[in-house]
């Protein structure tokens, strides 16, 4: 032991910084894994208990290939036992790429004069949403640069607009936000507009790496960002998403930073984050980053398995930044949400951007499949794609936690609602042979409910959807 990490731990207080580098580094240094310890920790997670920072560090430091395989097998088992085969789908929509900050890694940063700057007009926003609805999307995340133009009132107005757009049988039923940290009043304004999750990624929990990568604008202030989701909670938004941008610093440190953030929110607000995101750095227009922290595919997939075991009840989000093969592997470890049919160039849904142009997007994505291709592939692999928004709309917040901790919750709500939203998709948007395949999958899932009196209620609703009813849920 180089020093006692406990001595450096910072007490959790609302809206106060809680990350101590010495605590995290000390824990990582002290964690010397043995086979027995790794197995005990995996067993603890499989018994539905979350892991401490020390236990997570043991998994992080376990590099023996056999142990890595056991960690991945543990994550697979947890996913199968607890979550089943459901995968929730969403799409990002970039509303504006004006930005006053200078994040070295981002194509939108103020100093990048080659970036084409756009803020969607009201009618352009409507057009984009219509296109997304015509694909079959029901859940969006709206993304904004940080700029005086993107006030809380402006963001709230765009959220309201999105909810109002109805194209054919389409509608957006949940709007999440990824935008700059706000003050408490600002968060209240967004709460009133009916947002789902508010995401702010810390990017890196390491102050030194943070300072190197954020050279200007408001985002330079590490503590303002770190305390942002506390302010969201103070404003009444209990549905928040945390994240780290993997590739800015040592991934091991970032994993513990994320877990420390979960601990902080649980300690102070009694509720952990709804989701964790773990984007990996991608190529971006005129971006600069230190290649020494690049996260290999091998470390990345291992890291997702560790996160699943460490916080078994938190939603994990994977995006189209990752290529299809990586997505396929980590889906097995319990990623709960993915985006499908993603385009991140400004106006790309309407203008049908098949090509990527680095100068009109934030960064490059690796998975350019359409939503229908992603749906097809999920169905082929027996995953149950879901567009469910029932919990949020019935006030059952914290659904990941409930899925995990309330016995029978998934069987009673999540799986049936996934089937209902899949049936809607099949009726309204499926192409080629997807409809037949999709109904076969629904049938298979129904057979697993044999003997359950609830099955007939679900069958009735599936029949109503075939006859034209929409938005049915439990």
Binding positions for ligand SF4, rule: CB under 6 A: 99, 101, 103, 106, 108-109, 145-146, 219
In residues, how long is the chain?
A: 474
Using alpha carbons only, give the angle 423, 333, 61 rounded to the nearest 5 degrees.
165
Quick check: 261 and 275 in contact, CB under 8 A? Answer: no
3-class DSSP string for 97-132: CCCCCCECCCCCCCCCCCCCCCECCHHHHHHHHHHH
Beta pairing class for 315-318 and 174-178: unpaired
Least Å from the CB of residue 326 to ligand SAM: 14
How many residues in the shown chain lie near ligand SAM by CB under 6 A? Answer: 21
Least Å from the CB of residue 345 to ligand SAM: 13
Region near ligand SAM per CB under 6 A, out of 67-75, 173-181, 330-338, 442-450: 173-181
Which partner from the list ligand SF4, ligand SAM, none does 287 bind, CB cut-off 5 to 8 Å by kind? ligand SAM
Other CB atoms within 10 A of residue 467 CB = 7
Least Å from the CB of residue 102 to ligand SF4: 7
The dihedral of CA 88, 401, 265, 157: what is its sign? positive
Least Å from the CB of residue 146 to ligand SF4: 4
CA–CA gap between residue 363 and residue 342 (Å, rounded): 13
Which partner from the list ligand SF4, ligand SAM, none does 179 bind, CB cut-off 5 to 8 Å by kind? ligand SAM
CA–CA gap between residue 200 and residue 207 (Å, rounded): 17
228 binds ligand SAM (CB under 6 A): no
430 binds ligand SAM (CB under 6 A): no
> Residues 85-112, buried b or exposed e (16+ Cβ, 10 A)?
bbbbbbbbbbbbbbbbbbbbbbbbbbeb
Interface of this chain with ligand SAM, residues 343 to 372, rule: CB under 6 A: 362-363
DSSP annotation of 245 reads -
Which partner from the list ligand SAM, ligand SF4, none does 279 bind, CB cut-off 5 to 8 Å by kind? ligand SAM
Considering the complex, state which of residue 101 and residue 389 has its C-beta at the smaller distance from ligand SAM: 101
Which single residue brings its beta carbon nearest to ligand SAM?
A: 363
Interface of this chain with ligand SAM, residues 261 to 320, rule: CB under 6 A: 279, 281-282, 284, 287
Region near ligand SAM per CB under 6 A, out of 8-16, 196-204, 251-259, 304-312: 196-204
Considering the complex, state which of residue 278 and residue 429 has its C-beta at the smaller distance from ligand SAM: 278
CA–CA gap between residue 429 and residue 338 (Å, rounded): 19
203 binds ligand SAM (CB under 6 A): yes
Which partner from the list ligand SAM, ligand SF4, none does 282 bind, CB cut-off 5 to 8 Å by kind? ligand SAM
27 binds ligand SAM (CB under 6 A): no
Show the tokens assigned to 70: 């056991």
> Half-sphere exposure of 52 toward its Cβ, with a 13 Å CA cutoff?
7
Least Å from the CB of residue 338 to ligand SF4: 21
Burial class (CB in 10 A: 0-12, 13-18, 19+), 177: buried
Least Å from the CB of residue 56 to ligand SAM: 21
Considering the complex, state which of residue 18 and residue 363 has its C-beta at the smaller distance from ligand SAM: 363
Can you give the binding site for ligand SAM, defined by CB under 6 A? 105-106, 143-146, 178-180, 200-201, 203, 245, 279, 281-282, 284, 287, 321, 362-363
């Amino acid at each position: 032991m180089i020093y006692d990490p406990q001595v450096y731990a910072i007490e959790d207080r609302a809206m106060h910084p809680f990350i101590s580098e010495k605590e995290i580094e000390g824990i990582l240094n002290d964690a010397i894994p043995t086979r027995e310890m790794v197995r005990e920790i995996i067993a603890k997670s499989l018994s539905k208990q979350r892991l401490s920072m020390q236990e997570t560090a043991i998994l992080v430091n376990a590099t023996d290939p056999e142990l890595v395989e056991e960690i991945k097998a543990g994550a697979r088992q947890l996913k199968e036992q607890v979550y089943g085969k459901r995968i929730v789908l969403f799409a990002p929509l970039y509303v504006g790429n004006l930005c006053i900050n200078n994040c070295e890694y981002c194509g939108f940063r103020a100093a990048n004069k080659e970036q084409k700057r756009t803020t969607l007009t009201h009618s352009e926003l409507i057009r984009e949403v219509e296109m997304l609805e015509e694909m079959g999307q029901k859940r969006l995340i709206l993304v904004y640069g940080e700029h005086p133009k993107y006030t809380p009132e402006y963001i709230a107005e765009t959220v309201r607009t999105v909810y109002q757009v109805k194209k054919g049988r389409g509608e957006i039923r949940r709007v999440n936000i990824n935008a700059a940290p706000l003050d408490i009043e600002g968060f209240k304004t967004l709460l009133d507009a009916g947002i789902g999750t508010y995401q702010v990624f810390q990017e890196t929990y390491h102050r030194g790496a943070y300072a190197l990568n954020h050279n200007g604008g408001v985002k330079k202030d590490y503590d303002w960002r770190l305390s942002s989701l506390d302010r969201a909670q103070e404003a009444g938004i209990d549905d928040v998403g945390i994240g780290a941008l993997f590739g800015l610093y040592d991934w091991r440190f970032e994993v513990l930073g994320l877990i420390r953030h979960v601990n902080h929110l649980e300690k102070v607000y009694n509720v952990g984050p709804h989701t964790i995101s773990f984007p990996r750095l991608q190529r971006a227009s005129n971006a600069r980053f230190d290649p020494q922290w690049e996260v290999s595919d091998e470390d990345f997939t291992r890291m997702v398995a560790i996160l699943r075991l460490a916080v078994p009840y938190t939603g994990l989000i994977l995006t189209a930044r990752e290529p299809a093969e990586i997505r396929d592997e980590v889906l097995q470890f319990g990623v709960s949400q993915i985006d499908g049919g993603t385009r991140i160039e400004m106006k790309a849904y309407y203008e049908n951007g098949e090509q990527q142009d680095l100068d009109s997007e934030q960064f490059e994505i690796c998975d350019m499949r359409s939503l229908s291709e992603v749906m097809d592939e999920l169905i082929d692999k027996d995953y149950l794609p879901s567009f469910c928004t029932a919990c949020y709309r019935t006030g059952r917040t914290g659904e990941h936690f409930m899925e995990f901790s309330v016995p029978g919750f998934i069987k009673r709500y999540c799986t049936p609602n996934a089937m209902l939203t899949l049936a809607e998709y099949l009726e309204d948007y499926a192409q080629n042979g997807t409809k037949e395949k999709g109904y076969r999958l629904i049938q298979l899932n129904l057979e697993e409910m044999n003997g359950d009196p609830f099955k007939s209620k679900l069958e009735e609703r599936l029949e109503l959807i075939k006859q034209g009813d929409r938005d049915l849920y439990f």
